[in-house]
Each structure stands twice: as C-alpha cells, then as structure tokens.
Amino acid sequence: CGSGLSGDYISEEGHYWIGMDISSAMLDVAVEREVEGDLLLADVGHGIPFRPGTFDGCISISAVQWLCNADKKSHSPPKRLYRFFSTLYTALARGSRAVLQLYPENSEQLELITAQAMRAGFTGGMVVDYPNSAKAKKFFLCLFVGTSGTLPKGLGTECAAEEMHQAKFTNERARFRNAKGKSVKKSRDWILEKKERRRRQGREVRADTKYTGRKRRPRF
C-alpha cells in the first residue's frame, strides 16, 4: 500500500481498507498523512494473514512483480507467488475480485505470475492498457473468486476483431522479441510497429507488403 495514496481514493468512495507493505518507512509516511485505512507491516510473499472471506476485493499497484525476485537464498519465486495467491484466495469472499497492476520484466515472468494465480484457484486473465505504446502500456491481472466474470476491455484497444488479430499477430512473432519484450531493432516486427506508430500520428506511410523488412543482398 506504500504511503496510502490509493487508499485515499478508496476511502473517498466509501470503502474501508487495510493496507500491507514490506517497508516500514513507507508505512510511517502513511501514518504521518493520517490515512483512514489500517496498516500492516508484512511481506506478502509470506501470505495474507487474515481469516477466510474477510475481504470483498483486493487492489495492488506495482507490487506483485517483486515476488519474482529472490532477494535471499531461501526465496523461491514460484513458492512465494503461490503462497501469496493461495492465501489471498482464502481471504477474499466468494464472488469478489482482485485487480493487480504489475510491471512484468518479460513474458516468462508474466506467465509465472499468471500460472501461480490460476493454480491457487482464481479465474480471470490479463488486461493490457495501450498495448501498442511503450510508455503508457500497463498490465492488469484481473482475478475472480468462485465465479467466472467478464474481463474489462483494456484502454487504447480497437474493435474486438482487430484485438484478436493483434493477439494472433503477437504470438506468431514472439520469437522475434528480445528478453525485455521489445522487437529486435531493424527486424520486420520493429519496422511494422514503427510504421503503425507513424500512421496513428497521421503521417503518410508506404503500404505493408511481403517484402517489408526483407534483408537485401550487398551489391559490389
């Protein structure tokens, strides 16, 4: 929960909340700000220490990806993630939801987080805002307890047909992306993404063909 900035908005909406953070310094700031929620110093990798069905929802902002790090020899990212998700599932009431915004380092990390959530019993999936933007792109893991809900549509996405096409397009070209999830420079993917950005800016761009991004033989 950090210094409780998001908690202020939750309070304004008329909800009661409990915030957890591993940093005592951040919680001290929250106390100084006199936030309305209750605060708990805890490592979520050790689990959510509350009775079953205590909460109607869970919100997390830029925290879950840190469970993928092994800061100590005893830390096992898969085990810490499963411990977090399994105890969170228990602490949430049936029919409630959890929305976890995160910044995955790569596709493998994203798959690990999602797999542990599903293993713990959650249903749901990943929602991506502005998938074609390098700066505005955000990942949201939307989870449901007990019942399957409808995933919200990510901001900055086009019509459903185009979304399906984009998802297929990305999967087919996953091997052309580097460890950070970006297309390799000068590759066909990189060129197509650059052309698409220019089209959105209203610039005149040549049409895509099967020759786009092809490697030309040197001439002597």
Could you tell me which residue, 57 or 173, shows the higher pLDDT?
A: 57
Determine the pLDDT at residue 19. Answer: 95
Q: Can you list the domains of the chain with their CATH numbers?
A: 43-145 (3.40.50.150), 182-219 (no CATH)
Put simply, whether the predicted model's pTM sits higher than 0.75 gets the answer no
Q: How far apart are CA 203 and CA 137, in angstroms?
A: 22
Encode pLDDT of 13-30 as tens digits: 989 999 999 999 999 999
Determine the pLDDT at residue 177. Answer: 52
Determine the pLDDT at residue 115. Answer: 93
Q: How far apart are CA 202 and CA 60, in angstroms?
A: 37
Under DSSP, the state recorded for 183 is B
Q: Which of 192, 109, 96 is nearest to 144 (CA)?
A: 96
pLDDT category at 220 given cuts 50, 70, 90 is: low
* Structural contact between residues 140 and 117, judged by C-beta atoms closer than 8 angstroms: no
Q: How far apart are CA 182 and CA 191, in angstroms?
A: 12
Q: E-strand spans in 108-159?
A: 123-129, 138-144
Q: Please say if the pLDDT value at position 169 is more than 60.
A: no
Determine the pLDDT at residue 50. Answer: 95
Q: How far apart are CA 12 and CA 36, in angstroms?
A: 10
List, as one string, the DSSP characters of 69-98: S--STT--HHHHHHHHHHHHHHHEEEEEEE
Q: Mean pLDDT, the chain, as a whole number?
A: 84
Residue 145 tokens, joined? 């307890």
Encode pLDDT of 93-124 as tens digits: 999 999 999 999 888 999 999 999 999 999 99
